[in-house]
Amino acid sequence: MSLQNPITFTFSDQAYGEMRRHIDGLVSKASITPHDEGCQDYLADKLEALGFSIHRFNHYGVSNLIALVGKGATRIAFAGHTDVVPTGDIALWQSHPFQPTEVDGEIIGRGIADMKGGIAAMLAAVETTISEWDLSQFSFMFLFTSDEEGEAEFGTKSIVQYLEDNHLVPHYCIVGEPSASAETGDVIKVGRRGAISAELTIKGKQGHAAYPQYANNAAHTASDIASWLNHLSWDSGSDDFPGTSLQITGIDTGQWTDNIIPGESRLCFNVRYSHAYTEAEIRERIENGLAQIQKDITIDWQRPCTPYFTQADAGEQSLITEVEQAIYQVCHRFPRLSTSGGTSDGRFIAASGCQVVELGVPNKTIHQINERVKVTDLQRLLDIYQILLRRLLVNRSVNAV
C-alpha cells in the first residue's frame, strides 16, 4: 500500500487547547450508565455554535443526541457514547476519577479512553476544519448516546431507527471507541464478532449422597453438558476476523450440603461468533444438541449482539482506505486491521448498510482504576481526525453508496 493524495496543513496549538477544554468539560461529569449528567448539554451548545441543528430525545431513561450540518447527499457521521462504567473504589484512584488530571504526560479520569477523549478530539477537529467543508455536497452528523456501556437497547439502536425513518442513515461512520493497542493509529477496528449468552436450567432429582441410585445428579449432567459445549468445533477465523469461541461462564447448584445430591443446576455460557454464522444458526445448533443429551433442560438466551465487518473495498470509496491514509500521514505507518474485543454500537450502524470504522486511543486501561491516556496519543488522534475530515469533506469527491 502506498500513500495517496497527502493532505498538507499546519497542526494547530489552538486545536490542542480546544480538545483539552472539551476533555475537562466532559470527563468532569459523572455520567455513569445510563445517566448523561450534562455531557450532551455541553456538546449541543458547542455544536449549535458551529451551525449544527440538534435533535435530542430520551428513550426509557437513555439520553440520545443527533447533530447535523450540511445539505449534501453524502452523509458522514461520528458516533460515540457519553456514558462511562462505574469508578470502583474511589480511594484507589491516583486522583478523583471525575477531575481529569495530568500526571507524567498522561491524563487520568474515568472515560478519558472510553471514550470522552475521542469525542473531545473529534469535536476539536471539526471546529478546526468546518470552515473548509463543502456542505453542498456533504452532510456531517454527530451521534451520541448515554447507554453504550449498559444494555444498549434504547441508545444507538434508537438513533439508527430515527435515521432510517427520516432517510438520514450515514454512508460512512467513524466510531470513536478506543481501538488502538500500544499507541494511537497502530490498530483500527473494522468489525466485531457477534455475541450471545445463555443460561441453562437442568433438572435432576435430589437425594442423599450415600444413595445415588435413588437420585439424578443435576451437577453431573451440567458437567457433561459443559464438556460437550467445550468440545464443539467452530470456524477458525481468518487474518481479518477471529473465529468463533464458546466459553463456560458459570455452573451453580445454589445452596449446597456435602451429603445432598443436587436436584437442579444452572449452567451459563457465552458465544462470540464470526460473520460465518448467524445468531439463529448458533441457537439452532446448540438447542438441537442439548435435546439429544438431556430432555429436562430449559434455555434462556440473553444479550444478543450481531457481528459486523466492513470490507476494505466496500462501495466506490473505502472508508478503511481513507482512515489508513490519514493515519499514515500522522504516524508514518499503516494500521493493523482488527475485529478483536467486545461488542460496540458500531454493529447497529453497520446493520443499516453504512461503512463503519472504529478509530480511537489505546484501550489498555479502559474500565480500570486510574483509566488514563497519554497526552501524545490524544494529540495524535486529533491530528488523524483533522486529516481524515479534510480527505472526506474537503479534498475528495465522495459518492454515496
Q: Measure Cα distances from 155 to 65, 138, 210, 281, 345 in Å.
A: 9, 25, 54, 27, 9
- Residues 6 or more apart in contact with residue 249 via CB below 8 angstroms: 197, 268, 269, 270
34 prior amide bond cis, ω within 30: yes
Residue with cell 466532559: 26
Task: In whole angstroms, give the CA distance from residue 36 to residue 82.
Answer: 6
Is the separation of the CB atoms in 391 and 325 below 8 Å?
yes
Instruction: Residue count of the chain, please give it.
Output: 401
Between CA 230 and CA 355 the distance in angstroms is: 34
- Catalytic residue among 18, 36, 37, 83, which? 83
Note if 148 is an active site residue.
Answer: yes
- Concatenating the DSSP letter of every residue in 205-240 gives B-EETT-GGG-B-HHHHHHHHHHHHHT-----B-SS
CB 52 within 8 A of CB 59: no
Alpha helix stretches (DSSP H) within 302-398: 319-331, 346-350, 375-393
Helices and strands in the chain: count of H runs, count of E runs: 9, 19
Report how far residue 307's alpha carbon sits from residue 322's, in angstroms, rounded to the nearest whole number: 23
Beta strands at 138-145 and 74-81: parallel, antiparallel or unpaired: parallel
Asked if 36 is an active-site residue, the reply is: no
Choosing from 148, 149, 322, 371, the catalytic residue is 148
Pairing of strands 297-305, 194-203: antiparallel
For residue 146, what is its C-alpha cell?
A: 448515554
Task: At 105, list the grid cell.
Answer: 504526560
The SS3 call for residue 332 is coil
Cell 430520551: give the residue: 58
What cell numbers appear for 306 in the block?
450481531
d(CA 391, CA 127): 16
3-state SS assignment for residue 285 = helix
Residue numbers annotated as active site: 83, 148
